[in-house]
Amino acid sequence: MSDAAPGPDWDLLIHDAGRLDEVEPVSIGIRGGRIEAVAPSLEGTAAERIDARGGLVTPSFVDPHFHIDKVLSRDLLGALGPQEAFDRAREVKTRFTVADVEERASQALRLAAAHGIGRLHAQIDVDFATRLVSFEGVMRARDRFAGVVDVTLAAFPQEGIVADKEAPALLREALEMGAAAVGGLPEVEASVADQRTHVDTCLELAAEFGVPVEMHADYMDRAELKTLEMLADATVAHGMQGRVVGSHCNALAVYPDDEAGRVIDKVLAADMAITVLPIANLQMLGGDGRTPRNRGSSRVKELLDAGVNVAAGADNMYDIWYRFNRMDPAELAYMTVHSAGMRTDEEVREGFEMVTTRAARIIGAPVPAVAAGSAADLVVFEATSLVDILRRLPGRRIHIKGGRRVGGVEGSFWSAA
């Protein structure tokens, strides 16, 4: 008979935790990586305790769309004009190595872990330039961060399907290596017919491998673009309803209202969801590059009102597409509500859901909650309200993944004397 001493009652016990929409603080008891109890007060021994002091405890963040293979590659381009830089981006990609991609992706994942991202869905270029080098590098970084940030990979034919003859076979290889989704960018093709081939090929591959499609659509803020509509039509034609996400969708914001309404009806009929990428697109797009007639955003509120699930992703970090970003989804929520003109308390709350629960639904992940039975993937904030989280960025916080402390931000907390 062994008479080993029993372990503590809880692996982690969080006291005095605030929750969204609730007034009274609670205790959160965690065991075996899951939330086992949420109650006004929990007793017992605990391996670790956190006193939240009334700070909000929320589900951890989910980034549904991030080009992690290209992060921190901006310095490799050299100081050039925009078009030269884009041309050089392809050449730079041919010089990526598995080890270099793994290292840059790992730097991004360290930031993600610090800020409270528990799950990240990455778009990885798979094309003639990088072949499967980027994909392999990100797979290695994913493995290094197992249990800290859950990473899934979408295989993304950045250089086209018709324009890049090598892409279809490489996409197939990436799917055999475990790609969780097929990406796409029909606008890179030379004609509308080629765009259609691009969309159809991606949908066919996804159906064959039983994975969803997450396609860049109507990326540029130009009203003549119709790739979101094309994607919605093709989704129905291929019987892929409920399995397709359109990303960016900035042209939707510059369509005349009646046309936008018609396209949103098609998005609904195809049971599609939409991911917007406000921080990168606010800088990249907007009128003619001189006069900011619009701000590289989509019709977020109209889509939400129509019943479409909309999430927000970070897109890029210090690469050809976007100069900034420090992987903080609270900052992304802050920029999302600015970009989309979300002003009321309810809309600000929706902006936060766009980087947590809505983002989880978009990538088909379990929807996180601060409730018994859910995974203990949480962020404990010092701020006691959602508005204060966004108003006092970055703010102090602790990131808990699977019931374990994996990161945090010491933050800045200021006050006037």
CB of 156 to Zn ion, least distance (A): 8
CB of 340 to Zn ion, least distance (A): 18
CB of 216 to Zn ion, least distance (A): 6
Per CB under 5 A, which region of 106-114, 289-297, 314-322, 346-354 contacts Zn ion? 314-322
DSSP bridge partners of 49: 13
Rank residues 218 and 315 by Cβ distance to Zn ion and give the closer one.
315
Preceding amide of 394 cis, omega within 30: yes
Residue numbers 315-344 binding Zn ion by CB under 5 A:
315
Q: Are 404 and 53 in contact (CB under 8 A)?
A: no
User: Tokens 């204060």 sit at which residue?
Assistant: 388
Rank residues 152 and 374 by Cβ distance to Zn ion and give the closer one.
152
Three-class SS of residue 315?
strand
- DSSP string over 392-414: T-S--EEEEETTEEEEEE-----
Rank residues 248 and 392 by Cβ distance to Zn ion and give the closer one.
248
CB of 248 to Zn ion, least distance (A): 7
Rank residues 17 and 153 by Cβ distance to Zn ion and give the closer one.
153
- DSSP string over 285-313: -STTSSS-SS-S---HHHHHHHT--EEE-
Rank residues 68 and 386 by Cβ distance to Zn ion and give the closer one.
68
Instruction: Give the Cα separation of 206 and 240 in Å (integer).
Output: 9
Rank residues 244 and 376 by Cβ distance to Zn ion and give the closer one.
244
Rank residues 277 and 308 by Cβ distance to Zn ion and give the closer one.
277
DSSP bridge partners of 217: 248
CB of 267 to Zn ion, least distance (A): 18
Total number of residues that touch Zn ion (CB under 5 A): 1
Per CB under 5 A, which region of 128-136, 206-214, 250-258, 309-317 contacts Zn ion? 309-317
Residue numbers 285-304 binding Zn ion by CB under 5 A:
none
Q: Which helix (H) or strand (E) holds 51?
A: strand 46-51
CB of 158 to Zn ion, least distance (A): 9
CA distances, 115 to each of 181, 276, 342 (Å) = 25, 20, 23
CB of 192 to Zn ion, least distance (A): 21
Instruction: Give the Cα separation of 408 and 288 in Å (integer).
Output: 40
Per CB under 5 A, which region of 39-47, 127-135, 158-166, 310-318 contacts Zn ion? 310-318
**Residue nearest to Zn ion as judged by C-beta position:** 315
Instruction: Give the Cα separation of 250 and 227 in Å (integer).
Output: 11
Q: Which helix (H) or strand (E) holds 102?
A: helix 98-115
Residue numbers 232-261 binding Zn ion by CB under 5 A:
none
Question: Which spans of this chain sit near Zn ion (rule: CB under 5 A)?
Answer: 315
